[in-house]
């Protein structure tokens, strides 16, 4: 299925890209979905493979969005990340109430509450992979808005994505 996607990459730059969504049964492959995150038989994976760069030189790849009965899970990779150290997290007042990784998801006009998230990568590397899970109870989603405001405290790691599912 081919969809058109509007992507704001910062600095007032807006790109329109073609997004190919391939809804396929991907099984329980740990490289695609975490069994703990998506109960077997309740998931509808959408393989995106969407690659975006922003003016700050960071690159985001959204690998998959998995729509489950009670949650939506976003799987991603980011390159060029300049995350903050654990000691900086303790000093910066914004991290007293917010996570160093801040992603907001709105589906069909409804803001979704985060359930869980993780990022991982080799220490000292600028490459990370991650998973972001939000609560979902609205049936089949039609439109998704993803606002990545920062990843691991990197304020230059930001993207806005609007897409039809």
Contacts for 123 with CB less than 8 Å, ≥ 6 apart: none
The string of pLDDT tens digits covering residues 104-136 is: 999 999 999 999 999 998 888 999 999 999 998
- Which domains are seen in the chain, by residue range? 2-26+42-164 (2.60.40)
Antiparallel, parallel or unpaired: β 2-10 and 71-79: unpaired
Distance separating alpha carbons of residues 48 and 4, to the nearest angstrom: 12
The pTM assigned to this predicted structure is 0.72
pLDDT tens-place values along the chain, 165 residues long: 323 334 443 443 333 333 333 222 233 333 333 333 444 456 777 778 888 888 888 999 999 989 888 899 999 999 999 988 888 888 888 888 888 999 999 999 999 999 999 999 888 899 999 999 999 887 888 899 999 999 999 999 999 999 887
């Amino acid at each position: 299925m081919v969809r058109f996607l509007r992507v704001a990459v910062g600095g007032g730059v807006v790109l329109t890209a073609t997004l190919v969504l391939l809804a396929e049964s991907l099984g329980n492959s740990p490289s695609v979905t975490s069994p703990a995150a998506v109960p077997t038989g309740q998931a509808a994976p959408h393989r995106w493979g969407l690659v975006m760069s922003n003016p700050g030189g960071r690159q985001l790849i959204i690998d998959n969005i998995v729509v489950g009965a009670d949650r939506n899970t976003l799987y991603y990779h980011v390159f060029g990340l300049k995350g903050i150290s654990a000691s900086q997290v303790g000093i910066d007042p914004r991290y007293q109430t917010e996570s160093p990784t801040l992603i907001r998801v709105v589906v069909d006009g409804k803001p979704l509450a985060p359930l869980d998230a993780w990022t991982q990568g080799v220490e000292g590397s600028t490459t990370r992979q991650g998973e972001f899970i939000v609560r979902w109870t609205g049936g089949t989603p039609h439109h998704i808005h993803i606002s990545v405001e920062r990843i691991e405290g990197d304020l230059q790691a930001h993207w806005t994505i609007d897409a039809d599912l």
